[in-house]
């Protein structure tokens, strides 16, 4: 190892990270300049043959796609369970809860390994849905505590806004895989009842798209994963978009289908919940700031990439008094980068207080 790198690794400088621990993907940005993003999933070998072939007990990131048939996939927050829905409401058995919590720990361990932190005290700010339950926050804390000296959990849209310095007069809409979170920025940390969360996101679009394809083209062989890929390639809410021609097998023979209208209809399931979220959060806000919030609506999260969404939302908010909608440029890292900025801005004594609070909660 070069001497300079070794000095950095051996210093006592705090090692700060921001983490967006999403339903679909986990992104991490560290104060040492490293960052990475992987699917929020772990692949477990299906049997001892698979285990021997893989040479490990857990598979992460891009490798999961390469060995998909040899592993069982565990997505700890699948369908929003343990993230914004409690295990009892999601109908998870105790075994399933354990399996998911273990997976969450493993994924957290993997992303922390990937950013190669040094020896100083380790602090993390981690994004959670605006109205995450105590159980959900506890799952995040349990997953993170083996890797950090102190952890702070912050609403995901707040992280995005903080990262861009939009602390006043901005309404952030985070369109993730599991939830749409809307958070107004007033220059201070918003209370849970000032924010809005809907249990609908990219996963719901994928399920709708799969179902619409199956109805329209019953002969086509298609999976949920294929539907997600079609959406990510052609996703739009507009009428005037390029044709979405995809290939799906029919009895094993690759066949082309035009699913332009189906994709648009599936993607539009997000529009009403977003407009409702904007309406409710604006209505709950100080009346003197409502116009300012509507005039600065910032879309983040993977779902913000749907073509035409900004224009369609502007049309939707016209009946609420009109507004302007823009989207963040780097939706993959916007939340994690904002969380890192928060992490680095927090004074050391506050981290020390959190360290003892975390220890009591554990
Ligand atoms: N180009 C794209 N067009 C439309 N949707 C996309 C695109 N790229 C990714 N997505 C979708 O964005 C979602 C993932 O977004 P994001 O990474 O913000 O979610 P998350 O943070 O994991 O979820 P959550 O915030 O709900 O916990 C997935 O549903 C994914 O399919
Ligand atoms: Mg998210």
SS (H, E, C) the chain: CCHHHHHHHHCCCCEEEEEEECCCEEEEEECCCCEEEEECCEEEECCHHHHHHHCCCCECCHHHHHCHHHEEEECCCHHHECCCECHHHHCCCHHHHHHHHHHHHHHHHHHHHHCCCCCCCEEEEEEECCCCCHHHHHHHHHHHCCCCCEEEEEEHHHHHHHHHCCCEEEEEEEECCCCEEEEEEECCCCCHHHCEEECCCHHHHHHHHHHHHHHHCCCECCCHHHHHHHHHHHCECCCCCCCCEEEEEECCEEEEEECHHHHHHHHHHHHHHHHHHHHHHHHHCCHHHHHHHHCCEEEECHHHHCECHHHHHHHHHHCCCCCCEEECCCCCCHHHHHHHHHHHHCCHHHHHHHHHHHHHHC
In the predicted structure, residue 8 carries a pLDDT above the cut 90: no
- Compute the distance between CA of residue 36 and CA of residue 23 in angstroms, rounded to an integer: 16
pLDDT tens for 194-248 read 889 898 999 999 999 999 999 999 999 999 999 999 999 999 999 987 899 999 9
pLDDT tens for 26-60 read 999 999 999 999 999 999 999 999 999 999 999 99
Both tokens of 101, joined, read 């919590």
- Compute the distance between CA of residue 3 and CA of residue 88 in angstroms, rounded to an integer: 52
CA of 215 to the centre of ligand 1 (A): 25
Quickly count: other Cβ atoms within 10 Å of residue 266's Cβ: 25
Ligand nearest to the CA of 224: 1
In the predicted structure, residue 167 carries a pLDDT above the cut 80: yes
Q: Which residue, judged by its Cα, is nearest atom 18 of ligand 1?
A: 301
- Compute the distance between CA of residue 37 and CA of residue 175 in angstroms, rounded to an integer: 17
Over residues 155-182, the mean pLDDT reads 92
State how beta strands 71-74 and 42-45 pair: antiparallel
Over residues 103-131, the mean pLDDT reads 93
Percent of the chain with pLDDT strictly greater than 70: 96
The domain locations on the chain are 13-163+333-353
Q: Which residue, judged by its Cα, is nearest atom 7 of ligand 1?
A: 232
Closest CA to 72 of 109, 102, 47: 47
Ligand nearest to the CA of 77: 1
Tell me which of 3.40.190.10, 3.30.470.20, 3.40.50.300, 3.30.420.40 is the CATH number of domain 13-163+333-353.
3.30.420.40
CA of 9 to the centre of ligand 1 (A): 34
- In the sheet that holds 180-186, the strands lie side by side as 196-198, 180-186, 168-175, 297-300, 325-327
Both tokens of 96, joined, read 């399933």
Q: Which residue, judged by its Cα, is nearest atom 24 of ligand 1?
A: 176
Counting atoms of ligand 1 from 1, which one is nearest the CA of 331? Answer: 18
- Compute the distance between CA of residue 327 and CA of residue 344 in angstroms, rounded to an integer: 25
pLDDT tens for 78-87 read 877 777 677 7
Counting atoms of ligand 1 from 1, which one is nearest the CA of 181? Answer: 25
Residues with CB under 6 A from ligand 1: 20, 22-25, 40, 83, 156, 174, 176-179, 201-203, 228, 231-232, 235, 301-303, 305-306
Least-confidence region, from 21-25, 147-151, 186-190: 186-190
State how beta strands 245-250 and 196-198 pair: unpaired
pLDDT of amino acid 1: 45
* Cα 279 to Cα 140, 178, 237, 251, 320, distances in angstroms: 30, 20, 20, 47, 7
Q: Which residue, judged by its Cα, is nearest atom 5 of ligand 1?
A: 303
CA of 202 to the centre of ligand 1 (A): 6
Q: Which residue, judged by its Cα, is nearest atom 12 of ligand 1?
A: 302
Percent of the chain with pLDDT strictly greater than 90: 75
Q: Which residue, judged by its Cα, is nearest atom 19 of ligand 1?
A: 176
Counting atoms of ligand 1 from 1, which one is nearest the CA of 300? Answer: 18
Counting atoms of ligand 1 from 1, which one is nearest the CA of 228? Answer: 31
Ligand nearest to the CA of 339: 2
Burial of 102 (0-12, 13-18, 19+ CB in 10 A): middle
Query: pLDDT category, 5, cuts 50, 70, 90?
Result: low
Ligand nearest to the CA of 24: 1
Least-confidence region, from 226-230, 287-291, 341-345, 358-362: 358-362
Both tokens of 5, joined, read 């790198």
Q: Which residue, judged by its Cα, is nearest atom 9 of ligand 1?
A: 302
Ligand nearest to the CA of 176: 1
Query: pLDDT category, 356, cuts 50, 70, 90?
Result: confident
- Compute the distance between CA of residue 170 and CA of residue 176 in angstroms, rounded to an integer: 19
CA of 228 to the centre of ligand 1 (A): 10
CA of 47 to the centre of ligand 1 (A): 31
In the predicted structure, residue 130 carries a pLDDT above the cut 80: no
């Amino acid at each position: 190892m070069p001497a300079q790198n070794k000095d950095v690794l051996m210093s006592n400088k705090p090692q700060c990270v921001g983490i967006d621990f999403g339903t679909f993907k986990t992104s991490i940005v560290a104060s040492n300049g490293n960052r990475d993003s992987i699917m929020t999933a772990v692949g477990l070998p299906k049997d001892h043959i698979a285990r021997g072939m893989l040479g490990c007990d857990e598979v992460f990131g891009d490798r999961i796609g390469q060995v998909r048939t040899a592993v069982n996939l565990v997505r700890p927050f699948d369908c929003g369970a343990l993230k914004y829905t409690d295990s009892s409401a999601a109908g998870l058995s105790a075994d399933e809860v354990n399996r998911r919590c273990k997976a969450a720990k493993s994924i957290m361990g993997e992303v922390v390994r990937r950013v190669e932190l040094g020896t100083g005290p380790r602090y993390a700010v981690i994004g959670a849905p605006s109205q995450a339950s105590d159980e959900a926050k506890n799952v995040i804390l349990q997953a993170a505590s083996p890797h950090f000296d102190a952890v702070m959990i912050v609403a995901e849209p707040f992280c995005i806004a903080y990262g861009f310095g939009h602390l006043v007069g901005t309404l952030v809409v985070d369109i993730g895989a599991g939830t749409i979170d809307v958070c107004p920025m007033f220059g201070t940390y918003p209370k849970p009842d000032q924010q809005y969360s809907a249990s609908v996101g990219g996963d719901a679009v994928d399920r709708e798209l799969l179902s619409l394809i199956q109805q329209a083209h019953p002969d086509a062989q298609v999976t949920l994963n294929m539907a997600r890929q079609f959406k990510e390639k052609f996703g739009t809410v507009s009428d005037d978009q390029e044709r979405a021609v995809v290939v799906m097998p029919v009895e094993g023979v690759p066949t082309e289908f035009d699913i332009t209208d189906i994709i648009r209809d599936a993607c539009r399931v997000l529009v009403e919940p977003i407009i409702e979220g904007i309406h409710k959060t604006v209505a709950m806000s100080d009346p003197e700031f409502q116009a300012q919030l509507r005039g600065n609506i910032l879309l983040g999260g993977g779902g913000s990439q749907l073509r035409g969404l900004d224009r369609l939302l502007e049309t939707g908010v016209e009946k609420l008094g009109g507004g302007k909608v823009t989207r963040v440029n780097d939706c993959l890292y916007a939340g994690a980068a904002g969380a890192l900025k928060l992490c680095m801005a927090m004074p050391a004594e506050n981290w020390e207080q959190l360290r003892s609070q975390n220890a009591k909660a554990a």
